[in-house]
Amino acid sequence: MKILAPVDGSKTSLKAIKQACSLLAAAPQLSVTLMSVHDDIALKHARSIVGSKAVDSYLRELSDKDLAGARKLLDKAGVEDRKSTRLNSSH
C-alpha cells in the first residue's frame, strides 16, 4: 500500500506526516510519496520577463522548502520517502 502525502509546509500538513509516520511504523510494507503542488498560472507574465527556466527554478525551490519539514519528520522516524518533482506549466 502507498501513501501519497500532499505537503505545503503548514502545521496541518506536518501533522498529517506525523500520522503517516505512525501508520508506517505499524505497517512497514507501506511506502510514502511526498508531493508539493504550486499553481504557476499567476507566473505566466513573469515567464515572459525572466524566462521559463527561472520560474521553474523558483517553483522547485518553493517545493523543496515545503517538503523540508516533512522529510525531516520522516527521517527522524526512520521512514524512507520518495520525492517526486514534476513541473507542469500553463505556458
Q: Where are the beta strands (DSSP E) in 1-91?
A: 2-6, 31-35, 81-83
Element (H, E) at 53: helix 52-76
Of residues 61 and 84, the one with the higher pLDDT is 61
If pLDDT is split at 50, 70 and 90, which confidence band does 16 have?
Answer: very high
User: What SS3 state is found at 29?
Assistant: coil
The pLDDT, as a whole number, for residue 61 is 93
How many residues does the structure list for the chain? Answer: 91
If pLDDT is split at 50, 70 and 90, which confidence band does 85 have?
Answer: low
Packing angle between helix 52-76 and helix 11-26, nearest 10 degrees? 50
> Which three cell numbers, joined as nine digits, stand for 32?
510514502
Which pLDDT tens digit goes with each residue over 18-74?
999 898 888 878 888 888 888 778 888 888 999 989 998 999 999 999 999 999 999
The pLDDT, as a whole number, for residue 38 is 82
